[in-house]
A and B are shown apart, each in its own frame.
Chain A
Amino acid sequence: MPVKKEKQPMREQDPKERIKNFREVPLGYTKEQAVEEAKRCLQCKDAPCMQGCPVGIEIPAFIESIKEGRFEDAINEIREKNSLPSVTGRVCPYEVQCEGVCTLGKIGEPVAIGRLERFVADLERKKGIRAPKKAKPTGKKVAVVGSGPAGLTCASDLAKKGHEIVVFEALHEPGGVLLYGIPEFRLPKKILHNEIDHIKQLDVQIREDIVIGKTLTVTDLLEKFDAIFIGTGAGLPMWMGIPGENLNGVYSANEFLTRVNLMKAYKFPEYGTPIEIGDRVATIGAGNVAMDCARTALRLGAKKSYIIYRRSREEAPARAEEIEHAEQEGVIFRFLTLPTKYTGDDQGHVRRMECLKMELGEPDESGRRRPIAIEGSEFTLDIDTVIVAIGQRPNPLIPQTTRDLEITKWGTIKTDESGRTSMKGVFAGGDIATGAATVILAMGAGKRAAESIDEYLRKNVT
């Protein structure tokens, strides 16, 4: 029987319904669908898909287990390498990772590796996650700073090797961007909590409300711990520096999403933190962050939600699925458009934005075609909320307060391949070392750092 060219379709909440709620959009595969999809895998000997996975999951093996209905084996194979499978199964940009290099992709759609991963992870959660195995204690202590995907992965890998781990988190709950950034309708918080509980079962201690650089410094930590991993992410919002960005009604993506996700402003006034949203919302940018903002705005009651992007659809950095979902929900895309100014009413509240139309010229350093303003193309758009989602820079708190730590000109912490920094015993990884990237790259970095920390600790055993 020839293999099917298409993936098993994903069941989803109807767009008309889902823009009225914060429940998850894709509903997941049924057992039958998962087995059908698993049958499409060719079990390639060289497994190119594995090269595409930054944490090195044994993809053909776990898919084979699903095909044979051994779902528990499948999740165990995934968990060997990935401590957050129900997260990656939802938010990984698989089209450019594992699925991007899948052999089947040459003749049709690749195997739906991400959806299969999600399927077994969800099934496991329903049954109750069993405590993971742990090596016998080594007596070594490691401090992990930041509880995003990089920190959590590093913590869990080191704990499995028998080291004592304390994670320090500035906010009142762990999870990093997975918690405060990615919305409920893409990654339900219950699922994240579950994965974190799983990591806590390895006796990983998580201490919230501690800002490293303020409450304690890296130097303080070095006195009590044998090694340190810094995974503080890229949380510093960027601005365009155009007039009117300080008007009321203009949010950074981080503020907007933090209010809604971390502080649950969508349940205001039951929850104390407010959010103010107008009828016409413009989100600037076209990455995952921008899609999350534009879709969240609809769910908060915006009548029109625009995405304003200075390049074209081809260059938009968001995952294909996010753009599709946004379109289905009625987000209005204004490509090749550059905001130049915001103007407000007499209360200082934003009411209009001035824009320029753009065209694409020659490719720039990033290889993408450079947007050029079209002369005389000025126009205005009536809006009453703006969300600026044009990117984040590394969090500066630790670099600023740790003199011996070498920093690049982009503000990232300088590391080698294995996560070593310029300070002995101090390692770093994830967005703080690479600049804003992806969940799975941060996890990959956390994993590599865990290996080199383990090696470092063993060498230093006296």
Chain B
Amino acid sequence: MYEIVKKKELAPDVKLFEVSAPLVAKKAEPGQFVILRPDEKGERIPLTIADFNRERGTITIIFQEVGKTTKKLGYMEKGNKILNFVGPLGCPSEIKDYGTVVCIGGGIGVAPLYPIAMALKKADNKVISIIGARNKNLLILEKEMQEISDELYITTDDGSMGHHGFVSDILKKLIDEGRKIDRVFAIGPVIMMKVISDITRGHGLKTIVSLNPIMVDGTGMCGGCRVSVGNEIKFACVDGPEFDAHLVDFDSLMRRNKRFLKEEKIAMNE
């Protein structure tokens, strides 16, 4: 059992937990994730490691309540225990001094982006961050991102804060201004990652995305998380979750993420 030692609401329907999981904390690296199961009848769901503290032996997760399992998790309070919590899973991000990196996070995607951007900063990169949300209330980790970024841009779909529009608008602007960019990291809704990827492809700008297919075991055993990358089948849980954006078949990922739409609705109405 894994105790929730801290709970914080970051935005409506977005919660942060700090969970006591010493073994996971000892090995965790940016870019990796955990799989948890809230209780006996619950589903196993993957969540990115948004932060870790090796001394305290804790892992921070940030999640959006989108369905039954994340809602159920949202009801849990400080002091409650999560039944299963396994990790760190997946491959860590490749952190190096690339020069100038652009880190783009959309919606809840800012949570997994944060530790990567921080590690890139520590590795002496110049970090330009672009974070966006549907509106001001849904924007998360703005202060944290500010602290670790050399430049921070904010966008909202409705214009309630920062640039009125999409994160991709800012990226286009930076490229058009001829800014030197050595690598792009983009995490967010699949459609956002696809748009970013289409923009950078034309400029030969290497782009890394973190994919979020439906998972079960997270150990390479079920193949449910398979994605098509460079026309090869890859298992996101062991080969990823990060891949070269220009090789990813985003359309197939979007389709596969709707595999259980009907069942998910049934579960929510339970």
Contacts and interface: CB of A to CB of B under 8 A. Distances in A.
A128 interface: no
Nearest to B67: A272
Contacts of B27: 214-216
- Most chain-A CB neighbours within 10 Å: which of B85, B220, B262? B220
B222 A254 contact: yes
Contacts of B224: 251-252, 255
A172 B83 contact: yes
Contacts of B44: 172, 263, 273
A274 B264 contact: yes
B24 A215 contact: yes
Interface band, chain B: 35 or more
Interface string B246-270: 0000001001101110111011001
Interface stretch (B7-15, B35-43, B181-189, B191-199): B35-43
Contact of A210 (B37, B86, B262, B266): B86
Contact of B238 (A239, A241, A251, A396): A396
Interface in A332-346: none
Contacts of A216: 23, 27
B212 interface: no
A258 interface: yes
A170 interface: yes
A259 B266 CA distance: 17
A237 to B, nearest CB: 4
A248 B258 contact: yes
B41 A255 contact: no
B259 A239 contact: no
Contacts of B220: 235-236, 395-397
Contact of A246 (B23, B88, B226, B262): B226
Interface residues of A, number: 41
Contacts of B68: 272
Nearest to B224: A255
Main secondary structure, interface of B, reads mixed
A110 B257 CA distance: 51
A171 B86 CA distance: 8
B221 interface: yes
A255 B259 contact: no
B174 to A, nearest CB: 34
A248 B259 contact: yes
A245 interface: yes
Contact of A248 (B41, B219, B256, B266): B256
A215 B85 CA distance: 11
Contacts of A258: 216-217, 221-222
Contacts of A408: none
25 contacts: A170-B219, A208-B84, A214-B87, A214-B88, A214-B89, A215-B86, A246-B233, A246-B256, A254-B221, A255-B222, A259-B216, A263-B216, A268-B263, A268-B267, A269-B266, A269-B267, A269-B270, A270-B41, A272-B42, A272-B68, A274-B263, A274-B264, A348-B252, A348-B256, A397-B219
8 tightest Cβ-Cβ pairs between the two chains A and B: A274-B263, A272-B43, A348-B255, A255-B222, A235-B221, A252-B223, A209-B86, A172-B84
Given A214-B27, A348-B256, 18 more contacts: A170-B217, A171-B219, A172-B86, A216-B27, A235-B221, A236-B221, A254-B222, A254-B223, A258-B217, A263-B43, A263-B44, A264-B41, A268-B266, A269-B263, A269-B266, A395-B220, A396-B238, A397-B238
